[in-house]
Amino acid sequence: MCGILAVLGCSDDSQAKRVRVLELSRRLKHRGPDWSGLYQREDCYLAHQRLAIIDPASGDQPLYNEDKSIVVTVNGEIYNHEELRKSLPNHNFRTGSDCDVIAHLYEEYGENFVDMLDGMFSFVLLDTRDKSFIVARDAIGITSLYIGWGLDGSVWISSELKGLNDDCEHFELFPPGQLYSSKDGGFRQWYNPPWFSEAIPSTPYDPLALRHAFENAVIKRLMTDVPFGVLLSGGLDSSLVASITARHLAGTKAAKQWGAQLHSFCVGLEGSPDLKAGKEVADYLGTVHHEFHFTVQDGIDAIEEVIYHIETYDVTTIRASTPMFLMARKIKSLGVKMVISGEGSDEIFGGYLYFHKAPNKEEFHRETCRKIKALHMYDCLRANKSTSAWGLEARVPFLDKDFINVAMDIDPEWKMIKPEEGRIEKWVLRKAFDDEENPYLPKHILYRQKEQFSDGVGYSWIDGLKDHAEQHVTDKMILNAAHIFPHNTPTTKEAYYYRTIFERFFPQNSARLTVPGGASVACSTAKAVEWDASWSNNLDPSGRAALGVHQSAYGCQVPSVSNGVMQPEIIDNNLQRMMEVSAPGLTILS
């Protein structure tokens, strides 16, 4: 990941303003420690902090077209850049950077080229010929982006809040899948796939089509000129990513440069479920596996820094971000600059246990659509900012545009959770990779149930956070919380503790409004309650109170696999705890 900052149409083109833009851009230096660049033309500034993944030698930004009349600063990766270069035979490229195609595509097609890009990206493009500009963010919001407005009429763009929060009168999230055009003076949706309207698809389930689509999504993310690895918690999603990567690494440019043996990474408290499961999968796949241990105190000590970097006060996001933040630092210390991760699967396939309660396929499908649309505020934010804090890039194949189109076009009847038919959560994904002749994973791993990331790293992690908050937030504070924090009022001591830290770093009203909550969370949790009224008492973000859904679904039993057939096995209390569901409307890494 890189860091971008743009100030467009401000009333000041002085040296002092240039120095201020540079100062603000340096707040994003953690995202791109490899190089800095700044372009200024009159009252427009485009700044860039580079993390060099493709063409480290010559791909510095901002980037230009042939005569430098078009200037671009980009955060992201364009996986189909070689194909796009071939489609532009009359253009001369200055670098080998994957992002170099953007200025030339604009020259060729104007503002209507964004949907041609296959990748994750946020960019600002300035056309100096008429001083117009466009800003765009990738389809799902994998890369973080914010937009702000100054009193002088200027438009500000930044990868993170910290680039805007002192200098803009108002700022907000830049919506994913949209483009802002100065010519139109507003946003328009460039990403509008069939599933976006939440119409119910009817395409029959084709396991091989789904498998091939996901394999292709992983393979295209092997594009790198620097050392990389995979995040491996031992759950279904990360294990599939690791398995496919290990299969296809040999023969790639990355393998020739850095070796054909895949490196995998896992984090947890001593003896945690993730460490055990991750090692088991790593041994099966033959990866060079790296385990990183942390203590509850290590995590608590990092909380303030985590909130500063991830820029949210959402409880579940902070819980899951902290171990990932600590792991990213360790990974970067090994010289690795890119990792492939497993975000997005639970949203696409209805992987959270409350989907057991979906009354019909229509409700099931519409809830998956809503959760995908909200990913940029939860899992994408966490994965992007937790890793970018240390100059590490996270790529997420489950959120590949082509793969989402295939997965969301499946008749949702196939995704419905039906224990009586042997279908547990994400059955269509598991079945697609259930290859008897050339197995991707052992059966018990392929059909292993979901583990929350924040619990998977060790059950005492959440308990430790709650205990710490209990010591620092009094009952009187909670009693008066609505007066101190009238917007998204914290209702627990843990939430209050995080909110006070956030407000120290980001005291502006615009900043607190970028964090979801209130009506949006209530609406999403209400969906699960609508499906089953018993959920009204099960809305704790840890999801531990929601174990009843598992009991009602399986009769205190969980499915296992024997000779390819789902079989029930009685589970003990420790395993029950591992099967806990995330709270409705809140999103956690699998």
Amino acid at 314: D
Return the pLDDT at 533: 77
Interval 134-160 mean pLDDT: 97
Structure tokens at 364: 């099931």
Rg (CA), the chain: 23
Tell me how far apart the terminal alpha carbons of the chain are, to the nearest angstrom.
Answer: 22
Interval 379-386 mean pLDDT: 97
The residues near 520 (Cβ < 8 Å, ≥ 6 apart) are 374, 585
Do the beta carbons of residue 525 and residue 491 sit within 8 Å? no
Q: Is 231 annotated as a binding residue?
A: yes
Q: Is 181 annotated as a binding residue?
A: no
Phi, psi of 412 (to 5 degrees): -65, -10
Q: Residue 451: pLDDT band by 50, 70, 90 thresholds?
A: low
Pairing of strands 338-340, 228-231: parallel
Interval 504-527 mean pLDDT: 78
pTM (predicted TM-score): 0.92
Return the pLDDT at 536: 66
3-state secondary structure (DSSP) of residue 198: coil
Return the pLDDT at 579: 33
Active-site amino acid positions: 2
Pairing of strands 263-268, 170-173: unpaired
Has residue 57 got a pLDDT over 90? Answer: no
Complete domains list, the chain, with CATH? 3-192 (3.60.20.10), 206-578 (3.40.50.620)
Has residue 472 got a pLDDT over 70? Answer: yes
Interval 141-163 mean pLDDT: 97
Return the pLDDT at 253: 83
Return the pLDDT at 205: 98
Rounded CA separation 52/224 (Å): 10
Return the pLDDT at 557: 44
Has residue 276 got a pLDDT over 80? Answer: yes
Interval 189-200 mean pLDDT: 96
DSSP assignment of 348-410 equals HHT-SGGGGG--SHHHHHHHHHHHHHHGGGTHHHHHHHHHHTTT-EEE-GGG-HHHHHHHTTB
Of 81, 120, 48, the C-alpha closest to 375 is 120
Quickly count: other Cβ atoms within 10 Å of residue 589's Cβ.
Answer: 32
Rounded CA separation 335/452 (Å): 28
Largest CA distance in the chain: 73
The sign of the CA dihedral 67, 70, 76, 81 is negative
Q: Is 164 annotated as a binding residue?
A: no
Has residue 576 got a pLDDT over 60? Answer: no
3-state secondary structure (DSSP) of residue 172: strand
Q: Is 267 annotated as a binding residue?
A: yes
CA angle 394, 399, 401 (to 5 degrees): 125
Return the pLDDT at 559: 43
Has residue 200 got a pLDDT over 90? Answer: yes
- In the DSSP assignment, the letter for residue 436 is S
Of 291, 290, 287, 319, the C-alpha closest to 306 is 319
Mean residue pLDDT of the chain comes to: 89
Has residue 4 got a pLDDT over 60? Answer: yes
Has residue 570 got a pLDDT over 80? Answer: no
Interval 442-452 mean pLDDT: 81
Rounded CA separation 82/79 (Å): 8
Of 523, 347, 522, 357, the C-alpha closest to 426 is 347
Has residue 336 got a pLDDT over 90? Answer: yes
